[in-house]
Amino acid sequence: MEDISRTALWVAGMRALESERDNPLFRDPFARRLAGDAFVEDLRRSNTGDGAMPPAIEVRTRWMDNQVALAVGRGIRQVVILAAGMDARAYRLTWPPSTRLFEIDRDDVLQDKHAKLFDIAPRCERHAFSVDLGDDWPAALQGSAFVADAPTLWLVEGLLVYLPPDQVTRLFARLDALSATGSVVLLDVVGRSMLESSRAKALHGLARQFGTDEPETLLAPLGWDVNVHCTAVIGQQLGRWPFPVHPRGTPGVPQGYLVHAVKR
Asked if residue 168 has pLDDT above 60, the reply is yes
Task: Please return the burial class of 224, using the count of CB atoms within 10 Å of its CB with bins 0-12, 13-18 and 19+.
Answer: buried
Asked if residue 257 has pLDDT above 70, the reply is yes
Q: Tell me which CATH code domain 55-263 carries.
A: 3.40.50.150
**What sign has the CA pseudo-torsion 28, 34, 38, 39?**
negative
Helix (H, G, I), strand (E, B) or coil at 190: strand
Contacts of 149 (CB under 8 A, 6+ apart): 180
Distance of alpha carbon 171 from alpha carbon 174, whole angstroms: 5
pLDDT in tens, 227-242: 999 999 999 999 999 9
Q: Give the global pTM.
A: 0.95
What average pLDDT does range 115-140 have in this prediction? 97
